[in-house]
Structure 1
Amino acid sequence: MISPTLGRVVPLKLTLLRLLSPFSTTPNGDTAILARLKHKDWLTPKEASTLLTSLTDPSSTLSFFNLYTSRKDFDPTEPFCTTLVTKLAQAQHLNPLLTLHHTFTLPRPQRRHFSDNFFFTLIKAYAHSFHRVDHVLRTLHEMPCPPSTRTFNFVLNLLVNTRLYCAAHDLFLHGPQLGVTLDACSLNILIKGLCAQGEFNAAFRVLEEFPGLGCEANALTYTTLMKGLCERGRMDEAFALLERMEGGSVDADAAVFNVLIGGLRKGGRVDEGWRVLEGMMGKGVRPNGGSYNEVLCGLVEGERFEEAKKVVERMEVQGFVPSFDSYKGLVKGFCERGVVGEVEWVVRDMVRNGLVPKMGMWGKIVQCAIEREGRSGCVAVAIDGVLELDK
């Protein structure tokens, strides 16, 4: 941890001692592990890592580390520090993690250097547990070893996902200076960021750069471009990309077709989406659950409930499960039309697939049954069916 007044590194052990509350308590399950550190018998680094991993409550991590640093056999190896980073992240202890980072990784004479794997774990902790993009970037740029392409791509993707597009673009350009070998994944992430900004001309220019960088565009590359085009209703250009794929060396998979079907659905062109689905099989690509659910949702949104029911039946023959939202739309639609028998069919089918209506749906079901059938017992039958199938 850097002191703002002295501009130096505060000793790790002293900092951790300050962070420990004198009133802190140790979980009962970890008492024996902490007591083991008070014995004078020698602990190898591997044994220390095993004990640290065995802690059941991440909040015991600071107590463990305080005891371990007081021992003569204290040896902070990379496996131990990697485990410590994971435990501190689980316990949401940012300050001790920063202290660990600065104490063990600042370049000093005769200090051991940790590998890319350690820094990848540290970067993931900053990103996932603390959402600190600033620490992520600082760690990447201060690594004593060149970051691997995996680590670089993780950070690049993080910047795109958090919509820091300018920072992502700058990092991409800075990659070679960091000693990173850019690959197809790096380019795909950059394309994703450009598409998110609507910069399709630039995204297509990146696509043209693949061969010059020794990379080959893959199905994910085209899927990313298609998804961006579909989200903006540019379906003709999306289908042109499909033709480009089919004319080249990249095989279209179900994910590619699902993007196109989803784009057609959002444009209210569900019949065209159904034709794309059927055309997949003619091209040797088997539709998956996502393919059918896109068509099913489109039919439900268009209030074509009878056709939607047939799709549900076809999905079950193929071994796919309709989405909860599709079932919800079917229940609402059939309830509004007062078709009690169909409502009961939907409920039974939901439960058979491991989905149970929520309270809001039950309210519509009960109201529908009472308005159309009085107290004929339809509601009781449906509820009994749920209870039987839920056992």
Structure 2
Amino acid sequence: MIPRSISTFTINLRTIHLFFIESTGHYCYHSIAPLNSCKKPDPLDLRNHKDWLSPTEAIKIFETLKDPNSTLNVLDQLSKRKDYKPTETLYTTVINNLSKVKNFDGVEQVMKRIKFEKSCRLSDEFFYNVMRVYGLGAGRINRVIETLLGMPGYGCWPTAKTFNFVLNLLVNTRNFDVIHEVYVSAGRLGVEIDVCCLNIMIKGLCKNGDVDAARQVFDEMPKQGCQPNVRTFSALLHGLCENNRVEEAFSLLTKMESEGVEPDTILMNILISGLRKNGRVEESIELFKTMLLKGCEPVTSTYQEVLYALLDSRKYTEAMKLIRKMSSKKMVPGFNSYKSIISGLCEENRADDIDLVLKQMIEDGFVPKLAMWKQMLQCIISENTSVDKLTLKINKICY
């Protein structure tokens, strides 16, 4: 039997030895404890963690990883532990980590692992996040569609929000050839078609140039128990205006107002732009005035469209007034608008007005290009003014 004094001495020395290891991270004495390595412990090696990790502690490991590239390695180590109990939150954290470093192949590996493990129930929100990663982060549209259509295989069915997200993504990325395939899958996915879904379909058909098909979807909406809203009318009006069917657009506007749907700023912008682009400049200006009377508050793009209309019709005095009004509302016209108005004023030899516009242009952060300076100087010189008067006008413009 070992004497008590020797045993106590050994235990105490071992305690001191272990304290030294924990405080310095180095091993320097090997005769008492069977130590296997002289390296610092790897913080990513889960064997250094305590015997039992709760789900919250496991998630914390991934949330605090300094290098998200190590996510798959840590997940592989975690999955070999007896206490491995993955949850939806854990999977989401892993996928978001991989998304941060654009490891989208790794995301696909995790999705395969999830399907194989079948260890927890997943919600629609989880798949919505995955599809955002695939679609908006990776641009892997096929994976988005596969994930949506494959949700029942995970024991989960999409909500209208998730279904409509996919439809809208397909429209915005102009994947028109697969939109109908996804749309008709609503029934077997348990998704009830709503107004938002039909609005997206109308927008997609209009973007694809099939306005007549969009009109058919619009006409069928009441039969599906859906009432068109201002977004519905905006999508269809935009399609009609883009295809030079302005008269139909205004007929639709009349129908909209008769059904008690109030136009908003977006819809009025569409009509003003549509009229201007179809050469109906005066009507676009009148519509803007009507918009103000209806209490529909214009935004920068509205003023910009009207400014273009005024410039198209060479109404430079009105254009100058509109620019001043925009400035009072902290709105800035585009550079091309200033370029057009200065060019027009020069053509009409309105040198006195040029300096007013030029000063406003500079206040809005724009600097005239060399060709504009030449045009302005030629306008001043063409007035046959004296040298003193010419110098005065140049100083007035520049300062």
TM range (shorter): 0.7 to 0.9
- Residue 103 in 1 paired to residue 113 in 2? yes
Match for residue 7 of structure 1?
Answer: none
Check whether the contact 1:303–1:333 (CA below 8 A) recurs between aligned residues.
Answer: yes
SS of match in other structure, 1:177? coil
Match for residue 281 of structure 2?
Answer: 270
Match for residue 128 of structure 1?
Answer: 136
> Shift of residue 293 of structure 1?
1.3
Deviations 1:22-72 (Å, cap 9, x if unpaired)? Answer: xxxxxxxxxxxx94776524654445545544567xxx2121442354244
Instruction: Tell me, in whole angstroms, the C-alpha distance in 2 between the residues paired with 1:254 and 1:350.
Output: 26
Instruction: Tell me, in whole angstroms, the C-alpha distance in 2 between the residues paired with 1:306 and 1:35.
Output: 71
Match for residue 203 of structure 2?
Answer: 192
1:235-274 superposed matches below 5 A: 235-274=246-285
> Shift of residue 316 of structure 1?
3.0
- Residue 67 in 1 paired to residue 77 in 2? no
Query: How has the CA–CA distance of structure 1 residues 240 and 305 changed in structure 2, closer, same or farther, with 3 Å as cutoff?
Result: same
Query: How has the CA–CA distance of structure 1 residues 377 and 93 changed in structure 2, closer, same or farther, with 3 Å as cutoff?
Result: farther
- Residue 86 in 1 paired to residue 93 in 2? no
Deviations 1:67-109 (Å, cap 9, x if unpaired)? Answer: 3542445554222322332332232212111101111134x5x
Query: How has the CA–CA distance of structure 1 residues 142 and 368 changed in structure 2, closer, same or farther, with 3 Å as cutoff?
Result: same
Query: How has the CA–CA distance of structure 1 residues 40 and 377 changed in structure 2, closer, same or farther, with 3 Å as cutoff?
Result: farther
Match for residue 49 of structure 2?
Answer: 40
> Shift of residue 214 of structure 1?
2.3
1:291-306 superposed matches below 5 A: 291-306=302-317
Percent identical across equivalent pairs? 33
Query: How has the CA–CA distance of structure 1 residues 35 and 224 changed in structure 2, closer, same or farther, with 3 Å as cutoff?
Result: same
Instruction: Tell me, in whole angstroms, the C-alpha distance in 2 between the residues paired with 1:37 and 1:76.
Output: 18
Instruction: Tell me, in whole angstroms, the C-alpha distance in 1 between the residues paired with 2:304 and 2:236.
Output: 22
Match for residue 172 of structure 2?
Answer: 161
> Shift of residue 111 of structure 1?
2.1
**TM-score, normalisation: structure 1:** 0.77
Higher relative contact order (CA 8 A, sep 6+): 1
SS of match in other structure, 2:332? coil
Query: How has the CA–CA distance of structure 1 residues 366 and 171 changed in structure 2, closer, same or farther, with 3 Å as cutoff?
Result: same
Structure 2 residue identity aligned to 1:111: S
**TM-score, normalisation: structure 2:** 0.75
Query: How has the CA–CA distance of structure 1 residues 49 and 332 changed in structure 2, closer, same or farther, with 3 Å as cutoff?
Result: farther
Structure 2 residue identity aligned to 1:284: G
Deviations 1:96-128 (Å, cap 9, x if unpaired)? Answer: 11101111134x5x5212211111111111111
Match for residue 388 of structure 1?
Answer: none
Check whether the contact 2:44–2:74 (CA below 8 A) recurs between aligned residues.
Answer: no
Check whether the contact 1:281–1:287 (CA below 8 A) recurs between aligned residues.
Answer: yes
Check whether the contact 1:301–1:329 (CA below 8 A) recurs between aligned residues.
Answer: no
Instruction: Tell me, in whole angstroms, the C-alpha distance in 1 between the residues paired with 2:64 and 2:394.
Output: 51
Of 343-352 and 89-98, more deviation after overlay is shown by 343-352
Check whether the contact 2:199–2:232 (CA below 8 A) recurs between aligned residues.
Answer: yes
Match for residue 293 of structure 2?
Answer: 282
Instruction: Tell me, in whole angstroms, the C-alpha distance in 1 between the residues paired with 2:129 and 2:65.
Output: 19
Instruction: Tell me, in whole angstroms, the C-alpha distance in 1 between the residues paired with 2:231 and 2:135.
Output: 24
Of 39-48 and 250-259, more deviation after overlay is shown by 39-48
Instruction: Tell me, in whole angstroms, the C-alpha distance in 2 between the residues paired with 1:222 and 1:115.
Output: 34
Q: Which has the larger radius of gyration?
A: 2
